[in-house]
Amino acid sequence: MRKICMVAAVVTALAAVPSQAAFWITPTFSTSSSADIDDSNGDISSTSYGLMGGNEYFTLGYKGTTYDFSGPDLLDDMSLLFADVHFDGKFTGNLGYFAGLGAAFGWEDDFDMSENYNLKPRAGITYSFGGDYRLAAGVGASINEPDSSVYPILTLNYREPSYLGLSYKLGFPMVDAQYRFNNLLALTGKLTAIPVNQDIYQLSSTSMLARDGYLAEEYAEAKVGVVLTPMQAFSISAGVGYDFRHEYKIYDHDGNEFRSFDTDPSYSAYINFNARF
């Protein structure tokens, strides 16, 4: 009952977000090369597709992932439904704040809000200086059945990505840089750590790995790409990635880890479309 009430409170908070800001929608697609599974003769690759939408305060999306094993198929297709609310503002002068709350629900077969959840709260303070610089420091967490964790947030932000020239976010858990040559073309680079790239899925009742158990997929990733903006309301981003420290953790229904396997680094490619209204 406490879990249901907690998730219900999160959904209520997500629904209360202001909706006056301009809306955007983004279909996504990515695919990875085969990666050898450590201490095994097999390998694994994956393909993901999805759809996201939102505005300045709110993001809602869905991602589906298909896994391809060289041996027996250990996983069926996975589904992830997610939402996030985020705010930032000023206390006084150069001192401000940021806050956000995410909720993701991942499953292999059956959607169950009280068991599939992964809640991601975060909050901290900001300090603006030198005109274009902003320092942010805070804490984030992932709250779920098998693998809850807390992590620090510390970033230095320089300018907004819409500006010409260089803009970036340096720190943990993300490094994100862009150089915009003009209104049409920009180059991007991004490095994300495991707190960003952690998806929790509940396995099916007939799973070969753990019946009604959980899968935690975690990895660090580096990406480089281009953003083309042929018109103000539409853009295309595409590029390649390098996934490393990729780990799959298997938990039983009670959240006890009993198996994990790592994979060698792999390469990926992605393409996203973005329309703004």
pLDDT (tens digit, 9 = 90+) per residue, 86-106?
A: 999 999 889 999 999 999 999
The yes-or-no verdict on residue 2 having pLDDT over 70 is: no
Task: Check residue 40 and give its pLDDT.
Answer: 79
Task: Check residue 147 and give its pLDDT.
Answer: 85
Residues 172-215: pLDDT tens digits? Answer: 999 999 999 999 999 999 999 988 889 999 999 999 899 999 99
Domain count, the chain: 1
Specify the length of the chain in residues: 277
Tokens 């281009």 belong to residue: 226
The yes-or-no verdict on residue 3 having pLDDT over 90 is: no
Give the mean pLDDT of the chain. Answer: 90
C-alpha triplet 193, 194, 197: angle, nearest 5°: 100
8 A C-beta contact, residue 28 and residue 50: yes
Kindly list the distances between the CA atom of residue 237 and the CA atoms of 121, 214, 273, in Å, as whole numbers in the listed order.
Answer: 28, 32, 6
Task: Check residue 6 and give its pLDDT.
Answer: 45
- Of the candidates 4, 28, 48, the residue with the CA atom closest to the CA atom of residue 243: 48
Kindly report the pTM of this predicted structure.
0.87
Between residues 155 and 21, the one the model is more confident about: 155
Confidence category of residue 1, pLDDT binned at 50, 70, 90: very low
Confidence category of residue 15, pLDDT binned at 50, 70, 90: very low
The yes-or-no verdict on residue 38 having pLDDT over 60 is: yes
Distance, first Cα to last Cα, the chain: 40
The yes-or-no verdict on residue 251 having pLDDT over 50 is: yes
Task: Check residue 13 and give its pLDDT.
Answer: 47
Task: Check residue 185 and give its pLDDT.
Answer: 97
Q: What percentage of residues in the chain have a pLDDT greater than 90?
A: 77
Query: Alpha helix locations (H) across the chain?
Result: 2-15
The yes-or-no verdict on residue 111 having pLDDT over 80 is: yes
The yes-or-no verdict on residue 10 having pLDDT over 50 is: no
Range of the domain at 67: 2-276
Confidence category of residue 239, pLDDT binned at 50, 70, 90: very high
Task: Check residue 19 and give its pLDDT.
Answer: 47
Question: For residue 197, how many C-alpha atoms fall within 13 Å in the half-sphere facing its CB?
Answer: 20
| Dihedral angle sign, alpha carbons of residues 5, 209, 200, 16 | negative
Confidence category of residue 21, pLDDT binned at 50, 70, 90: low
Residues 6+ apart with CB under 8 A from 69: 42, 43, 44, 75
Task: Check residue 140 and give its pLDDT.
Answer: 96
Task: Check residue 41 and give its pLDDT.
Answer: 80
Task: Check residue 39 and give its pLDDT.
Answer: 78
